[in-house]
Amino acid sequence: MSSEYDTTKTLDVKGQSCPMPIVKTKQAIDDLDAGDVLEVVATDSGSMSDIQGWADGTDGVELLDQVEDGDLYTHYVKKTE
Amino acid sequence: MSTDNQSTTDADADPGSDPETEFDAAELQALRERVDELEESIADAETGDDQKKMTIVATQGSFDMAYPPLILGSTAAAFGWDVVVFHTFWGLDILHEEKSKNLKLSAVGNPNMPVPNAVAAIPGMDRMATRMMEKKIDENGTATIEELIELSLDQGVDLQACQMTIELMEYDEDDFYDGVTTGVGAATALQHMAESDIQLLV
């Protein structure tokens, strides 16, 4: 799955709940360069709506995709600037 | 542009023809400065619009009431917002390094508790209710209060402790987590609220 987006880094936030997936995603994105793609793997079902809301409301990031697979919610976030 | 030049020449030749377009050097300079000033303030206003501001006033110090301001504050910081959480009265205990680790859930007067008030009033029930909640929080993967405070401070959330209530509760500035802002009062909080897009009282 990750090869589809050529992910630069994977962030594992499995078992963590709100607001951790968002806060850690933001921190991980800060450490990346423009053009990099972050893969976020979460078990928090609220992360589907939250990551989307965060990406919409935040400059310099673009949500490429969100994949729901059983109990796993995987998000692909690109740093655009 | 060529017509402008033309009209200037005309005005010079015949000052009486159009007195509206005549400015002396000092007036022109003043106008130029005014234009620069306005351009600067527009640029400032545009930059200011980019960053949202939020002010939360945290007045409660029970275990359950410590969470909403910390969760909203740290999440808003992840959005890149400028966040102030002003802690006053029992809200101070959230920032108190020692007390924050022993915040209690009240079993009495809480209609969501599975026991009647008469039972909830038995000594030790608050402690038991708090332990149960802590266990659930751990199982759910929810962060602890201490973790959320550290996270908020790391992300630049301005956690403020109201100076008046610090003195009222006889706390010491050293009692609070490193990075907590002290020496602030209602005026500071109001000033940030006035500039904020979102203001919440918890």
Give the pLDDT confidence of B144-176 residue by residue, as tens digits: 999 999 999 999 999 999 999 999 999 999 999
Q: What is the crossing angle of helices B63-78 and A20-30, to 10°?
A: 30
Where does the pLDDT of residue B96 fall: very low under 50, low under 70, confident under 90, or very high at 90 and above? very high
DSSP, collapsed to helix, strand or coil, labels residue B73 as helix
Where does the pLDDT of residue B14 fall: very low under 50, low under 70, confident under 90, or very high at 90 and above? low
Q: Is the pLDDT of residue A68 over 50?
A: yes
What is the per-residue pLDDT for B3?
46
CB B173, CB B27: distance < 8 Å: no
Residues B60, B92: Cα–Cα separation, whole Å: 8
Q: Which of B124, B6, B151 is nearest to A26 (CA)?
A: B151
Catalytic site positions of A:
18
More confident residue, A48 or B46: A48
What is the per-residue pLDDT for B23?
78
Residues 6 or more apart whose Cβ sits within 8 Å of residue B40: none
Where does the pLDDT of residue A71 fall: very low under 50, low under 70, confident under 90, or very high at 90 and above? very high
> In which order are the strands placed within the sheet that holds A61-69?
A9-13, A37-42, A72-79, A61-69
Residues of B in contact with A23 (CB under 8 A): 74-75, 77-78, 151, 155
What is the per-residue pLDDT for B66?
96
Residues of A in contact with B71 (CB under 8 A): 18-19
Instruction: Confirm or reject contact between B182 and chain A (CB < 8 A).
Output: no
Instruction: Confirm or reject contact between A59 and chain B (CB < 8 A).
Output: yes
Instruction: Confirm or reject contact between A76 and chain B (CB < 8 A).
Output: no
Do the Cβ atoms of A15 and B142 come within 8 Å? no
ipTM: 0.82
Sign of CA dihedral B194, B86, A54, A3: positive
A19 upstream amide cis, omega within 30 of 0: yes
Do the Cβ atoms of A19 and B77 come within 8 Å? no
Residue type, A72: L
Q: Nearest by CB to A23, which of B140, B142, B151?
A: B151
What is the per-residue pLDDT for A3?
53
Q: What percent of chain B stands above pLDDT 70?
A: 88
Q: How far is B136 from chain A (nearest CA, A)?
A: 12
Q: How many CB pairs under 8 A join A and B?
A: 44
Strands A72-79 vs A61-69: parallel, antiparallel or unpaired: antiparallel
Where does the pLDDT of residue B42 fall: very low under 50, low under 70, confident under 90, or very high at 90 and above? confident
What is the per-residue pLDDT for B107?
86
> Phi, psi at residue A27, to the nearest 5°?
-65, -40
What is the per-residue pLDDT for B2?
45
Q: Is the pLDDT of residue B10 over 90?
A: no
What is the per-residue pLDDT for B18?
59
The residue of chain B with its CA nearest to that of A25 is B78
- Alpha helices of chain A — where are they, by DSSP H? 2-5, 20-30, 47-57
Cβ burial B151-179 (10 Å sphere, 16+ → b, else e): bbbebebbbbbbbebbeebebeeebbbee
Residues of B in contact with A16 (CB under 8 A): 141, 143
CATH entry, B52-201, from 3.40.1260.10, 3.20.20.70, 3.40.50.1100, 3.20.20.10:
3.40.1260.10
**What is the CATH code for A2-79?**
3.30.110.40
DSSP, collapsed to helix, strand or coil, labels residue B179 as coil
Residue type, B28: L
Where does the pLDDT of residue B1 fall: very low under 50, low under 70, confident under 90, or very high at 90 and above? very low
Q: What is the pLDDT of residues B30-41, one digit of tens each?
A: 999 999 999 988
Torsion over CA of A63, A69, A71 and A72, rounded to 10 degrees? Answer: -40
Instruction: Confirm or reject contact between A54 and chain B (CB < 8 A).
Output: yes
Whole-number average pLDDT of chain B: 88
What is the per-residue pLDDT for B19?
59
The residue of chain B with its CA nearest to that of A54 is B79
Average pLDDT over residues B68-86: 96
Residues A51, A60: Cα–Cα separation, whole Å: 14
Instruction: Confirm or reject contact between B198 and chain A (CB < 8 A).
Output: no
Q: What is the pLDDT of residues B115-125, one digit of tens each?
A: 888 888 999 99
Q: What is the pLDDT of residues A17-61, one digit of tens each?
A: 999 999 999 999 999 999 999 999 999 999 999 999 999 999 999
